[in-house]
Amino acid sequence: MAVIALRNVSFEYPGGHRALEDVTLEVGEGERVALIGPNGAGKSTLLHIMAALEFPRVGEVRVMGHRVDRRSAAEARRKVGFLFQDPDDQVFMPSVYEDVAFGPLNMGLPEEEVRRRVEGALEASGAAHLARRVPQNLSLGEKKRVAIAGLLSMAPPLLLLDEPTANLDPQGRRDLVNVLAGLGQSMVIATHDMSVAFELAERAVVLKGRVLFDGDVRTLLKRPEVLREANLELPSFSRLMMMYREHIGADFEPPLTVEEALALLKAHR
Ligand SMILES: Nc1ncnc2c1ncn2[C@@H]1O[C@H](COP(=O)(O)OP(=O)(O)OP(=O)(O)O)[C@@H](O)[C@H]1O
Ligand SMILES: [Mg+2]
């Protein structure tokens, strides 16, 4: 069964701005999907709908088979962890520790289990050293780590991540990618960072109001017209390898990771 399924969803904001047009999309159990598209493409809107924070008037949303509407929203939200694009929308308790403990406490878990989860989540998100700090005073990247710890502590079956690596430093970005790659949950990751998309997801959905592409990331690389329409740019190592391919007259597909690029260089010396 799909963890989440959208069928023919269109969405207009009050005032009439149409943000989504006829979106049909399913995410399977354990599947990781990169949601990519230019500014204003509707990525955050789509995630808000998946998180039962907005309700489309046209189309249908189901979380684990159950229809989502305003009445059933609370039930749906228990199955979905949502990382807001802006962490200020998310962190609000007087200390980081309490902030990360908020979800598991609300789930009614015993104190020992709450502590275990909070410590594990802070460790995994690289925020253990921040446990006693006041969330409001943290830097943007620090807040993001705390917000991610808050999600991990609840371990919902579906994670919706809106620009999870934006504002993280390179090491923080690398650490987060490794943490996410190690999780078994279903994930939808909205990102402008194609290398994050390639490292985490095998499937890409390209959005620009409507779905321009839904399929294997390797297939997306062979669709320059989609990349162009969505203002997407391949990572610099991929572009470099495509120039190299031209230069030596070889034939290979654009690499998705630095490791793949290196393997190609070794094979085509
Ligand atoms: N509350 C709102 N009221 C009216 N229009 C909105 C609202 N929120 C978003 N929009 C509009 O809906 C469209 C989609 O916005 P959305 O934030 O979903 O895009 P996005 O793909 O997440 O962009 P970004 O890459 O900049 O985060 C945009 O044109 C935006 O201006
Ligand atoms: Mg957005």
Residue 167 reports pLDDT greater than 90: no
**Summary mean pLDDT of the chain:** 93
Q: What is the mean pLDDT of residues 195-217?
A: 95
pLDDT of residue 66: 95
pLDDT of residue 171: 87
Percent of the chain with pLDDT over 90: 77
- Nearest 5°: phi and psi at 163? 55, 60
CA of 263 to the centre of ligand 2 (A): 35
Q: How confident is the model at residue 227 (pLDDT cuts 50, 70, 90)?
A: very high
3-class state of residue 139 by DSSP: coil
CA of 17 to the centre of ligand 2 (A): 15
pLDDT of residue 119: 96
C-beta of residue 33 within 8 angstroms of C-beta of residue 187? yes
- Tell me the C-alpha distance between 53 and 11, whole Å: 13
Choose one of 10, 11, 17 to mutate for the ligand 1 pocket test, by most ligand atoms within 8 angstroms of C-beta: 17
Nearest atom within ligand 1 for CA of residue 42: 18
pLDDT of residue 211: 98
pLDDT tens digits, residue range 61-109? 999 999 999 999 999 999 999 999 888 888 889 999 999 999 999 989 9
The residue nearest atom 2 of ligand 1, judged by CA position, is 13
Specify the higher pLDDT residue, 37 or 89. 37
Among all bound ligands, the one having the nearest atom to the CA of 36 is 1
pLDDT of residue 250: 92
Residue 190 reports pLDDT greater than 90: yes
- Give the residues surrounding ligand 1 with Cβ less than 6 Å away: 13, 15, 17, 19, 37, 39-45, 85
Nearest atom within ligand 1 for CA of residue 190: 22
pLDDT of residue 91: 80
Nearest atom within ligand 1 for CA of residue 45: 18
The residue nearest atom 28 of ligand 1, judged by CA position, is 40
Percent of the chain with pLDDT over 70: 100
The amino acid at 157 = P
pLDDT tens digits, residue range 123-147? 988 899 999 999 999 998 899 899 9
Domains of the chain: 1-79+157-223 (3.40.50.300), 92-155 (no CATH), 234-269 (no CATH)
Task: Please name the residues in contact with 47: beta carbons below 8 A apart, sequence gap of 6 or more.
Answer: 35, 82, 160, 162, 188, 190
CA of 19 to the centre of ligand 2 (A): 11
- Beta-strand pair 4-12/58-63: antiparallel
CA of 54 to the centre of ligand 2 (A): 14
3-class state of residue 236 by DSSP: helix
Q: How confident is the model at residue 7 (pLDDT cuts 50, 70, 90)?
A: very high
Secondary structure (DSSP) of 96-112: HHHHHHHHHHHTT--HH
CA of 121 to the centre of ligand 1 (A): 30
Q: What is the mean pLDDT of residues 111-125?
A: 95
CA of 36 to the centre of ligand 2 (A): 10
Among all bound ligands, the one having the nearest atom to the CA of 206 is 1
Question: Is the torsion defined by CA of 260, 261, 262, 264 positive or negative?
Answer: positive
Residue 51 reports pLDDT greater than 90: yes
pLDDT of residue 63: 96
Task: Please name the residues in contact with 39: beta carbons below 8 A apart, sequence gap of 6 or more.
Answer: none
- Beta-strand pair 4-12/32-36: unpaired
Q: How confident is the model at residue 195 (pLDDT cuts 50, 70, 90)?
A: confident
Among all bound ligands, the one having the nearest atom to the CA of 48 is 1
- Would you tell me the crossing angle of helices 96-106 and 140-152 to the nearest 10 degrees? 20
